[in-house]
Chains A and B, each alone.
Chain A
Amino acid sequence: MSEAATIHAEEHHDYLGAKLGMWLFLLTEVLLFSGLFIAYSYMRARYPVDFHHAGGELNAVIGVANTFVLLTSSLTMALAIVAIQRGERGRSLLCLGITMFLGVVFLVDKAIEWTSEFRHGNYPGAHHLAAQPPGEQVFFGLYFTMTGLHGVHVIAGLLVLAIMTVLVARGRIDRDRFILLENTGLYWHLVDVIWIFLLPLFYLAA
Chain B
Amino acid sequence: MSEPQMELEAHDHPGYGVFFIVWAVLLVLTTLLVLLSRTGQDAAVWGLMIITPLKAALVFYFFMHLRYEGLLLKGVVTVALGTLLIFFALLFSDVAFR
Chain A positions within 8 Å of B, measured between CB atoms, are 13-16, 19-20, 23-24, 27, 30-31, 34, 37-38, 41-42, 45, 52, 60, 64, 67-68, 71-72, 74-75, 77-79, 82, 85-86, 182, 185-186, 189-190, 192-193, 196-197, 199-201, 204-205
Residues from chain B with Cβ under 8 Å of A201 in the complex: 48
Total residue contacts A-B, CB cutoff 8 A? 114
Q: List 6 A-B contacts (CB under 8 A).
A: A15-B9, A30-B80, A74-B23, A186-B64, A200-B37, A204-B33
The binding surface of chain B is classed by DSSP as: helix
Nearest-Cβ distance from residue A58 to partner chain B, whole angstroms: 12
The binding surface of chain A is classed by DSSP as: helix
Task: Please state if A79 and B19 are interface contacts (CB–CB under 8 Å).
Answer: yes
Nearest-Cβ distance from residue B44 to partner chain A, whole angstroms: 4
Residues from chain A with Cβ under 8 Å of B27 in the complex: 68, 71
Tell whether A190 pairs with B33 under 8 Å between CB atoms, given A19-B73, A82-B14, A82-B15.
no
Residue among A30, A190, A192, A196 making CB contact with B84, cutoff 8 Å: A30
Report, as a range, how many residues of chain B touch the other chain.
Answer: 35 or more
> What mask results when residues 11 to 31 of chain B are scored 1 for a CB within 8 Å of chain A, else 0?
001111001101100110010
- A52 and B44 CA atoms in complex are apart in Å by 12
Residues from chain A with Cβ under 8 Å of B33 in the complex: 199-200, 204
Residues from chain B with Cβ under 8 Å of A34 in the complex: 84, 87-88
In the complex, the 3 A-B pairs of residues with the closest C-beta atoms, listed nearest first: A204-B37, A205-B44, A75-B23
